[in-house]
Amino acid sequence: MQFSNFSRSNDTITVNVFHCPGPLTVICNTVDTVNIGTYNLGTYVLKAVVHLANNSTPDPCSNHNPQDSAYTTFQIILVPGIPEEKLNSGFRVLYHEQENFIEIASELSNYEFTLYSADGKIIESRSLSGRAMIPSHTFSEGIYFYSITQKGNKESGKIRIHR
């Protein structure tokens, strides 16, 4: 693959890959990967378009033309049944759906709680002591990861927010 790009229009993702055929095309046994980012729950149509250069001179890799395309549909869903995490350090992290909060049940003091989105962004970070409640009404549905750090020890887990 010489280069690639992608675009998104509503629920359709179009990936364009550009190849420059040459002597290594026949013996090159690799898989092309194109990162299309992070998406919300839903159904999407993926259209892949392969563009090949026309081998014209003076630059045989300059003029790309679409040669082939394919469509597929995929779905992003929540995985049911992710259990609450019980940490070895005595912490329990629970999501309370009806009350819209995350509970950190602990008898330990002075710890850091950090909540991350699925793409690794920090959503919430707090210094806490003992049992704590974190409102979750502004969080989108999905899987979140958390870490709890106390005195240099770090534990992590995941929690599912759903309504």
SS3 assignment, position 25: helix
Residue-wise DSSP of 42-75: EEEEEEEEEEEE---SS-TTS-EEEEEEEEEEEE
Name residue 105's amino acid: A
* Residue found under tokens 């003992």: 130
Judge if pTM exceeds 0.85. no
The torsion of the CA quartet 114, 115, 120, 122, rounded to 10 degrees, works out to -70
pLDDT for residue 22 is more than 70: no
- Show the domains of the chain with their CATH numbers: 3-76 (no CATH), 85-161 (2.60.40.3080)
More confident residue, 81 or 161: 161
pLDDT tens digits along 104-126 = 888 778 889 999 998 889 999 99
Could you give the C-alpha distances from 21 to 34, 51, 68, in angstroms and in order?
Answer: 19, 10, 14
